[in-house]
Structure 1
Amino acid sequence: MDFQGSLFGGLAPTAYADGVPPLRGRVERRHLGDGAWIDVARDWLATAADEVAAAMVADVPWRAERRPMYDRVVAVPRLLHTYGAGEDLPHPALVAAREQLSAHYRDELGEPFVTAGCCFYRDGDDSVAWHGDTIGRGSTHDTMVAIVSFGDPRRLALRRRGGGPSTGVVMAHGDLVVMGGSCQRTWEHAVPKVAHAGPRLSVQFRPAGVF
């Protein structure tokens, strides 16, 4: 069953520093099996979401990539950019969000989130295929990847590694999903193509050495 979300969700606006409220009490955990889980926090960055999305569109140095696939080279169906450790992020709310995530998950993760991978899905044809973040330490160790979504709602699909039925969560404007435990090793995730969708941006916060 999908979690449901609306574009500009339900909590009344509250004045928080940089528009980022505390995570405590906002997170719903869903156990997937095989030691994997996801946390969902609806509307977490809803107050700052419009400003963050506008800043990302204008200021992130987006690039189009091409990658080999079978016997040809194809365009990656989304725009990309990654901010490494210590690099400035395009909006203060993203800095505050990374700090909040590092503090909230300190006991479970044991280290901070340091990088920020950005994706720009321009329309429903942009997507990401089934995969796990298993380049680096995610291939052998439990870790976390925290995703904040802005713009049109899109479904983050999840399935056990190797195939089978999928589950997932529809991520709306300002929503947070954290994939944790063994999720990157024992499950895969994807953002499927859809017939009609407006622009959607996502930021994936990761610890060092997880890709």
Structure 2
Amino acid sequence: MIEKSLSKELSINEGEWTDLPNGSVLWIPNFINPLESNSVFDALYHDLTWREDKILMFGKRVTIPRLQAWYGDASYQYSNLKLDPLPWIDVLQDLRHRCETVAECPFNSVLANLYRTGQDSNGWHSDNEPELGEQPVIASLSFGATRRFSLKHNATKQKVIIDLPAGSLLVMAGELQRHWKHCVPKTARYVDPRINLTFRQIYK
């Protein structure tokens, strides 16, 4: 067992499930090898239909600071934005099945995010929309540049902070989306583009 300290408050283990207060996570930093990871990044970057969307925040419509694409079998809605699915493509289908095997959970949709620079980000939020069910399982795959990922408990404010490298898999499960928020913060340093895939099950 290799234990990696991620913050002063909490740590998680590489390659196995870690129980956190009100949830659990699985982190596999080398889920996909570097050569394949580079190939997958190129395929996703060029083949996905990326879009720039606006969401409602504090009564105003603002542009999301990243590009995104929604693929799968069901629509998804958050922050007054409805995403209708595009049909699966081969590279997404393959990654979906591999994530299902590890997460031991079926997935029928995936949200792809393209972080073009260090100024692209994803603010504090939970994936807790009703159509995701009571205890959503979210499988997150990273490709391209390494970016920091933070988790914060709603009540205790405990944090887990981890740098997600290319080819890494992070699975969030249990009651995590009800009791924790997560984010990908901006960074002032130069970073290459990053693509993140979050596989999920939508209950229609």
User: What amino acid maps onto 1:116 in structure 2?
Assistant: V
Partner of 1:55 in structure 2? 43
Q: CA RMSD in A?
A: 2.2
Assess if the C-alpha contact under 8 Å between 2:109 and 2:202 holds in 1: yes
Q: What's the CA shift for 1:163?
A: 7.0
Q: Tell me the TM-score normalized by structure 1.
A: 0.77
1:134 to 119, 125, 128: 128
Matches within 5 A, 1:1-211: 1-2=5-6, 27-34=15-22, 36-46=23-33, 47-85=35-73, 87-89=87-89, 91-92=90-91, 94-106=92-104, 109=105, 112-138=106-132, 141-161=134-154, 164-196=157-189, 197-209=191-203
1:7-43 CA distance string (max 9 Å, x none): xxxxxxxxxxxxxxxxxxx832222212x01101112
Measured in 1, the distance between the counterparts of 2:150 and 2:179 equals 14
Q: What letter matches 1:37 in structure 2?
A: S
- Looking at structure 2, the residues matched to 123 and 162 of structure 1 have their Cα atoms a distance apart, in angstroms, of 32
**Judging changes above 3 Å, is the alpha-carbon distance between structure 1 residues 71 and 143 closer, same or farther for their aligned structure 2 residues?**
closer
Deviation by residue 1:116-143 (Cα, 9 ceiling, x = unmatched): 11000011111111111111244x6112
- Paired residue type of 2:184: V
- State the identity %: 28
**Cα distance, 1:73–1:162 mapped onto 2, change above 3 Å:** farther
Q: Shift of residue 88 of structure 1? A: 2.0
Query: 2:103–2:139: 8 Å Cα contact kept in structure 1?
Result: no
Query: What TM-score does the superposition give when structure 2 sets the normalisation length?
Result: 0.80
Distance 1:131 1:163, change over 3 A: farther
Structure 1 residues 55 and 163 mapped into 2: Cα distance closer, same or farther (>3 Å)?
farther
Letter in 2 for 1:207: Q
Tell me the SS of whatever aligns to 1:64. coil
| Structure 1 unaligned blocks of 5 or more | 4-25
Residue-pair matches, total: 180
Tell me what 2:77 maps to.
Answer: none
- Cα displacement (A) at 1:79: 0.2
Q: Report SS of the residue matched to 1:50.
A: helix
Aligned amino acid, residue 99 of structure 1: H
Quick check: 2:103–2:171 contact (8 Å CA) kept in 1?
Answer: no
Give SS of 2:53's match: strand
Q: 1:163 to 1:55 in 2, by over 3 A?
A: farther
